[in-house]
Amino acid sequence: MTVSFAAALVAMAARYSSQLTHGEGLVEAAEQLSSRAADLAEADSAAYAAVIEAYRTTGHGDTVQRQEKIHSALRGAAAVALEVAQLGAQTATLAAQLFVEGKRSIRGDAVTAVLLAESATRSAAYLVAVDIEAGGGDEGVVRQAERSVEIARAAQAQIPAVTVPVTS
What pLDDT sits at residue 96? Answer: 96
In a structure prediction context, what are the per-residue pLDDT tens digits for the chain, which is 168 residues long?
Answer: 999 999 999 999 998 876 666 668 889 999 999 999 999 999 999 999 999 998 888 666 678 888 899 999 999 999 999 999 999 999 999 999 999 988 888 999 999 999 999 999 999 999 999 999 998 889 999 999 999 999 999 999 999 876 555 665
Q: DSSP state, 136?
A: T
What pLDDT sits at residue 152? Answer: 97
Q: For the chain, give every domain's residue range.
A: 2-157
Q: How much of the chain is in helix, strand and coil states, percent to nearest 5?
A: 85, 0, 15
User: 2-157: which CATH architecture?
Assistant: Up-down Bundle (1.20)
Q: Is residue 2 within 8 Å of residue 92, measured between CB atoms? A: no
